[in-house]
């Protein structure tokens, strides 16, 4: 009987018959979802298969006309790919893979690389579901990567394919999320605690860093914080740029009140070990089920520094704020206590980026051979599971690279399409082990074509930063490890006189910046000796030096060809993928690549049922 079931099921799947579903609202069986427009007209759902490198999308739009979804780039919609489809008044469907040849004109791709899985229309929604490879062999299709992806959604009021800018939307999304919140446990005894600034009058300045010191929850025994989320008060024109929570050493003498984090009173910059970070575009984040922030033991911090960066570019008066971070904690203990290691370019006062740069790279080195000595106790290997990337408006890409014994080991994390407005804590697809003695390099890519003066590192949004926060376990006492180049050497390479660091930085304003001098400055910054500054939770500082190693590029994987997925109004089914001529691990994987993602999942689920079915004689 089980054999009969498989023989009935698999031919249907192998033929690529679309799996359709009629829904009256924005719901989907695909795991990830969000609205793409301010009016909540366009609802996107998606899921993916990392091994098969295929992603499925479902677009639900409040329209009786055509709908479209694809991928675009940072600077222009020209060249974007757009999969379009709809249901004609007679009930027939149309579907094709297209691209934008200019801002308003669509053209059908020569290679059809999207496969239709379902297309319906009801009294409210037109719903289109399709799958596509992460990387097709069509140059008109943009890749789906583990970077931030800028998606393009559009629709019409009828079935005439014509772009209307009022109904075209672009949104940055991290599509390949490896952990879904529904996969994580929610303890029954969850307690909520808010760390917030109360009724703070935001100064009438472009940039304000407000800091205050707050106690963590008081508990009689060990608990774990397992989730955090921003607690924001909406202002029409005043925005909260980021919020950081720093753990304080229990020996620290802390000030009271609220003050400028980096102003006249240095006490308000005490505590430098980040334990929670949020920035523009981020949402809540729940730690993996085996890690948490420990509170309630003598070794745990009792106080934190709450830092909120405000950008009040309109200099609005009389705006009060009570934003902060909400944490969720539990007595149900996890296996590991987590920590956060801050890497990157030591922000002030050495960092600079020339104006008019199409591309400029900055580097911050970390050498870990002193970690164990500074930790004050034997230090296990660090197991990294997540990360948060941070630059300001000129940032275009970041990556963290790991080296061991002088050899590049891996890229820990990266985003080649970084978006300042989407800064969120992300999970790694697999955990990364950092051993004592490893070197960690952060590379930040900037573009300053719209600037006519040097951009310096600093706290303001119009200054720059180059930071990566690594979330790891088990916790140690190291809070940050960041580097900066010998600016005197850089100034001399640019033909400027400098005898100290301040003169070196001032000399950058004297350089005539051209494409040639920009590249010369980038080369000098990379070749200069780096000073590495390591700091502990108790504000102990150690310096070392090092040199920037080369970064070996990661080759792109093979593309996945298609046999064509266009559906004309008279067609009933669409053709499937065929694997590109590359070596596969086995015939079973090759077969999986021939099936739509939904079909693959159904096959896998059915195979998992077989032993029980055969045993019971079903």
**Which element (helix H / strand E) includes 151?**
strand 149-155
Q: How far apart are the first and last CA of the chain?
A: 6
Which is catalytic among the residues 99, 309, 390, 392?
390
397 with 481: CB under 8 angstroms? no
- The residues facing 54 across adjacent strands are 49, 133
The Cα–Cα gap between 537 and 549 comes to 28
DSSP string computed for 514-556: -HHHHHHHHHHHHHSPEEEEEEETT--EEEEEE-PPP-PPPPP
**Lookup: tokens for 468:** 């990566």
The phi and psi torsions of 476 (rounded to 5 degrees) equal -130, -170
The CA radius of gyration of the chain, in Å to the nearest whole number, is 27
Q: 593 by DSSP, 3-state: which?
A: helix
Q: Active site includes 390?
A: yes
- Give the total residue count for the chain: 618
The phi and psi torsions of 528 (rounded to 5 degrees) equal -65, 150
The Cα–Cα gap between 427 and 383 comes to 12
Which is catalytic among the residues 94, 125, 155, 209?
209
**Lookup: tokens for 414:** 């990266």
489 with 503: CB under 8 angstroms? no
Q: Which residues contact 303 (CB under 8 A, 6 or more apart)?
A: 213, 214, 215, 216, 248, 250, 252, 254, 271
- Report, as residue numbers or ranges, the catalytic residues: 209, 390
């Amino acid at each position: 009987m089980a054999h009969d079931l498989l023989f009935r099921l698999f031919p249907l799947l192998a033929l690529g018959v679309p799996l359709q579903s009629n829904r009256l609202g924005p719901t989907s069986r695909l795991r990830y979802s969000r609205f793409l427009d301010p009016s909540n007209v366009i609802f996107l759902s998606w899921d993916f298969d990392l091994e098969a490198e295929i992603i499925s999308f479902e677009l639900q739009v409040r329209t009786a006309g055509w709908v479209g979804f694809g991928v675009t780039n940072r600077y222009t919609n020209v060249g974007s790919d757009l999969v379009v489809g709809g249901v004609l008044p007679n009930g027939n469907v149309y579907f094709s893979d297209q691209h934008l040849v200019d801002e308003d004109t669509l053209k059908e791709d020569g290679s059809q690389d999207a496969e239709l899985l379902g297309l319906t229309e009801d009294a409210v929604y037109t719903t289109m579901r399709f799958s596509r490879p992460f990387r097709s062999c069509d140059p008109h299709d943009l890749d789906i990567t583990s970077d931030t992806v800028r998606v393009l959604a559009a629709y019409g009021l009828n079935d005439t394919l014509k772009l209307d800018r009022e109904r075209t939307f672009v949104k940055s999304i991290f599509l390949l999320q490896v952990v879904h919140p529904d996969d994580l446990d929610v303890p029954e005894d969850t307690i909520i605690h808010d760390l917030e600034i109360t009724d703070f009058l935001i100064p009438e300045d472009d940039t304000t860093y407000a800091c205050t010191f707050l106690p963590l929850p008081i508990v009689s025994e060990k608990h774990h914080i397992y989730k955090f989320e921003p607690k924001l008060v909406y202002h029409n024109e005043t925005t909260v740029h980021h919020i950081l929570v720093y753990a304080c050493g229990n020996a620290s003498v802390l000030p009271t009140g609220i003050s400028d984090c980096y102003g006249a009173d240095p006490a308000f910059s005490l505590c430098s070990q980040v334990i929670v970070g949020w920035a523009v575009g981020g949402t809540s984040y729940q730690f993996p089920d085996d890690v948490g922030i420990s509170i309630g033991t003598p070794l745990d911090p009792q106080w934190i520094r709450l830092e909120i960066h405000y950008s009040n570019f309109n200099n609005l008066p009389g705006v009060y704020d009570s934003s902060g971070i909400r944490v969720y904690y539990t007595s149900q203990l996890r296996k590991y206590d987590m920590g956060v290691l801050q890497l990157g370019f030591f922000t002030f006062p050495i960092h600079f980026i020339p104006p008019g740069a199409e591309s400029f790279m900055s580097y911050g080195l970390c050498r870990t051979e002193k970690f164990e000595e500074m930790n004050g106790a034997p230090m296990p290997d660090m197991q990294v599971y997540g990360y948060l990337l941070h630059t300001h408006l000129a940032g275009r890409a970041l990556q963290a690279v790991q080296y061991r014994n002088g050899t590049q080991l891996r890229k820990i994390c990266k985003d080649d399409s970084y978006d300042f407005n989407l800064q969120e804590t992300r999970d790694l697809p697999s955990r990364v082990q950092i051993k004592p003695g490893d070197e960690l390099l952060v590379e930040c890519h900037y573009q300053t074509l719209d600037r006519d003066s040097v951009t310096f590192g600093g706290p303001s949004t119009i200054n720059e930063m180059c930071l990566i926060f690594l979330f790891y376990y088990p916790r140690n006492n190291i809070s940050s490890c960041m580097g900066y180049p010998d600016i005197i050497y850089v100034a001399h390479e640019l033909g400027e006189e400098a005898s100290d660091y301040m003169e070196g930085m001032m000399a950058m304003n004297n350089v005539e910046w051209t494409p040639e001098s920009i590249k010369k400055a980038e080369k000098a910054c990379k070749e200069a000796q780096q000073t590495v500054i390591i700091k502990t939770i108790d504000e102990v500082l150690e310096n070392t030096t090092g040199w920037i190693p080369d970064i070996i590029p990661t080759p792109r994987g093979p593309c996945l060809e298609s046999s064509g997925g266009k559906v004309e109004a008279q067609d009933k089914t669409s053709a499937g993928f065929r694997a590109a001529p590359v070596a596969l691990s086995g015939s079973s994987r090759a077969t999986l690549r021939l099936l739509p993602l939904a079909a693959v999942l159904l096959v896998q689920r059915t195979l998992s049922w077989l032993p029980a079915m055969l045993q019971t004689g079903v």
